[in-house]
A and B are shown apart, each in its own frame.
Chain A
Amino acid sequence: MNNDLIRIDFPIQSYIENNREKLDESLVSLRLMKEIDMFLDAKDISNKLLAQDLGYSESFISQLMSGVKKINTSFINKFENNYNVKFRFSIEEEKEENFISIYSMSFLDINLNVSNNKNFKTVKISPEFNLGEYTEYEDIDNNSLCKNII
């Protein structure tokens, strides 16, 4: 162990910024491969067996799993037919994380993550509220009184 090593810079941050689009394309593929990985895990199927079942080389499966190659509809079709399953696709709006921000003593912005076209709600609450407790608040957008955990 040597604590006196000179620090070496690794250009990860700049690589990511310079290759954002290509990385994002691979990440779309990896999101699908994650579903396949979980399926294989649940069914106790190895990458090697998957390759055999679908008629691909083990190296090709490894490249798909590492994001070097991207999944295509031919692969999905073979996967569905071989394992008698169906991929389900849905389009969802990208959601911000749930958060609560206090911007005055009596108003909060709450991102409820439930609405397709209006994620942000403005509510009026009691100034004495405690986070994590059931609190009554007035939904100003819908002009209604709500009670929930904040």
Chain B
Amino acid sequence: MENFYLIHECSKNKFKVYLNQSNKDLVTKFVDINRNPSVLKKFILVIEAVKIKAHNKTQYNWEMDLPIGSVYAIKVDSHRFYTLQIERLGCRELYICRYGKKESQENSKKLTSTITAIESIEIQKILCHE
């Protein structure tokens, strides 16, 4: 069971974003981007664009479908936040599950296993935010 905390919600757009705070890599990276205003702004622009469905593939790229939803990558510079998007009764919920750095010559680590691992996550929702 992994704990997902509600970090943003918008009732007008029926939209919620949860962050997996049981994953050390992801939390560490989130702490990092919160210290960098420019990267934080880009991250929040992705969330805001997804909220109103104005996102593009450079920001939010479909990776794979799962029985309960679809996995997308939130792309901010070379950072990749793999996110499970679940749509139910007109509501969209984003579960930011895993972190992975963009594949490159320097980073040859295959991201497929990171993405496919999302299917086996058991989500525990914690309904609070700042």
Contacts and interface: CB of A to CB of B under 8 A. Distances in A.
A72 interface: no
B86 interface: no
A85 interface: no
B27 interface: yes
A8 B129 CA distance: 10
B72 to A, nearest CB: 14
Interface string A60-90: 0010011110000000000000000000000
B56 A37 contact: yes
19 contacts: A1-B22, A1-B23, A2-B22, A5-B27, A7-B21, A9-B129, A10-B130, A12-B17, A12-B129, A13-B7, A13-B130, A16-B8, A26-B45, A27-B45, A30-B59, A31-B52, A37-B56, A41-B57, A68-B42
Nearest to A38: B56
Interface in A1-43: 1-3, 5, 7-16, 19, 23, 26-27, 30-31, 33-34, 36-37, 41
Nearest to B5: A7
Contacts of A31: 52, 54
A8 B44 contact: no
Interface in B7-42: 7-8, 17, 19, 21-24, 27, 30-31, 34, 40-42
A47 interface: yes
Given A8-B21, A16-B44, A27 B2 contact: no
A33 B22 contact: no
Nearest to B6: A13
B2 A3 contact: yes
A62 B58 contact: yes
B56 A10 contact: no
A14 B129 CA distance: 10
Nearest to A16: B44
A100 B58 CA distance: 37
B22 A5 contact: yes
A23 B22 contact: no
B47 interface: yes
A2 to B, nearest CB: 6
Nearest to A32: B54
B14 to A, nearest CB: 8
Interface in B48-99: 48-49, 52, 54-59, 76, 90
A110 B54 CA distance: 27
Nearest to A96: B12
B88 to A, nearest CB: 16
